[in-house]
Amino acid sequence: MGLKIGIVGATGAVGVEAIKLLEESKLPISELRLFASSRSVGKKIGFLGEELPIAELSFHAFKGLDFVIFSAGSSVSQQFAPIAKESGAIVIDNSSFFRLQPNVPLVVPEVNKEDLKSHKGIIANPNCTAAILSVALWPIHLVATIERVIVSTYQAVSGAGAKAILELETQLRHFVYGKPIVPEVFPEQIAFNVFSHNSPVTENGYNGEENKVMQEIRKIFHYPNLNICATCIRVPVFRAHSESVVIETAKKLDAQQTRSILSKAPGVLVVDDPQNGYFPTPLKASGKKEVLVGRIREDLSHPRGIAFFLSGDQLLKGAAWNAVQILQALL
């Protein structure tokens, strides 16, 4: 019969990647149904040699589908994911809407694939920064029990969507042509600048992105008391997020042990050549499914501390690839 899969947000940055990954996946897909907002209706997207039309969402849109991947923002997921579920499809949702709901599993397959067993029709895909981080932390946690995480991020603009990518391009062009730079999408100039992530700061002093990272890692790890402190910063990079990470473990690890653990870990690529100064960068991570980890060293400020630096493609492992991995794990 073959699989019938729907993609909501098919023209967005994550949707486009999901379609490509499904194409590569060799899954027996008999139907791919694409959805986007009304202004994309009429466009076509290529998939395995066919030109597929884009439809608008409706109450009956999901009929007959086995799986629907949502990447069109929280309000679309809130409204349509329950409808897709009622239609009999399993929903894999990229938005933040369902992530912290107790009856919705939040899954990074390398970490907590088992949680898929308890799903009730909706599975949440984590925040991109959290997903990338979890892949590097989990294998260390299994061996040495992580007691504390301090992470500072270097986040690409594509996390904020296609408009943000265009904004960085426009500002660069204005710089080269000597025209004034006026921020429109982001509240601050992004070219030649870095700024605190533009999600609102909440009561606890942390912004929305930081709270997501902290809360989601705890849920994915089933570790509600994990001590974690995140600082999320936007940088003028098009694609792939980077993170400077310092951890404390219950069991002492040295750099070599950590490198060895990470080099065997699923979804991790150790890129750590101090002699040649070759380490993870967002350019190296762009287009890769793995999270690149390097600068692995002891944190000299703590008897059981380890520091490292990672880069991961937030559109792939941080979104579309993690969703496709969930789909594959469900089969």
Contact between 279 and its own copies per CB under 8 A: yes
Report d(CA 259, CA 265) in Å as an integer.
Answer: 10
Contact between 57 and its own copies per CB under 8 A: no
Contact between 178 and its own copies per CB under 8 A: no
* Torsions phi, psi for 316 (to 5 deg): -95, -85
CB-wise, 78 or 198, nearer to its own copies?
Answer: 198
Contact between 25 and its own copies per CB under 8 A: no
**Contacting residue, 113, 175, 185, 330, with its own copies by CB under 8 A:** 175
Report d(CA 201, CA 157) in Å as an integer.
Answer: 19
List 119, 141, 197, 241, catalytic entry: 241
Read off the tokens for 19.
């379609």
CB-neighbour burial class of residue 39 (10 A; exposed 0-12, middle 13-18, buried 19+)? exposed
Contact between 182 and its own copies per CB under 8 A: no
- The alpha helices in the chain, defined as continuous H runs, are 13-24, 74-86, 109-112, 128-144, 162-176, 208-220, 255-263, 282-285, 321-330
- Report the nearest approach of its own copies to the CB of residue 68 (Å): 33
**Contacting residue, 152, 257, 260, 263, with its own copies by CB under 8 A:** 152
Q: Give 294's strand partners.
A: 309
Residue type, 132: I
CB contact at 8 A, 52 and 32:
yes
Report d(CA 31, CA 34) in Å as an integer.
Answer: 10
**Contacting residue, 67, 70, 97, 154, with its own copies by CB under 8 A:** 154
Contact between 88 and its own copies per CB under 8 A: no
- Is 229 among the residues known to form the active site? no
Instruction: Write out the E strands in the chain.
Output: 3-8, 29-35, 44-47, 50-55, 67-70, 90-93, 122-124, 146-154, 195-196, 227-231, 233-234, 241-249, 268-270, 291-298, 305-312
Contact between 246 and its own copies per CB under 8 A: yes
Read off the tokens for 74.
């929280």
Read off the tokens for 309.
């630096």
Residues 6+ apart with CB under 8 A from 33: 4, 5, 6, 7, 52, 55, 61, 65
Q: Does the annotation list 259 as a binding residue?
A: no
Query: Quick one: which segment of 34-42, 96-104, 221-229, 320-328 binds its own copies (CB under 8 A)?
Result: 221-229
List 128, 141, 197, 232, catalytic entry: 128
Total of chain residues touching its own copies, rule CB under 8 A: 58
CB-wise, 10 or 232, nearer to its own copies?
Answer: 232
Query: Quick one: which segment of 36-44, 85-93, 98-106, 279-287 binds its own copies (CB under 8 A)?
Result: 279-287
- Report the nearest approach of its own copies to the CB of residue 261 (Å): 16
Q: Does the annotation list 159 as a binding residue?
A: yes
**Contacting residue, 42, 102, 178, 200, with its own copies by CB under 8 A:** 200
Annotated binding-site residue numbers: 11-14, 39-40, 99, 155, 158-159, 234, 314
* Residues marked as catalytic: 128, 241
Which positions touch its own copies (CB under 8 A)?
148-150, 152, 154, 168, 172-173, 175-177, 187-189, 192-196, 198, 200-201, 204-206, 214, 227-229, 231, 233, 235-238, 242, 244, 246, 255, 274-275, 277, 279, 281-283, 294-302, 305, 307, 309
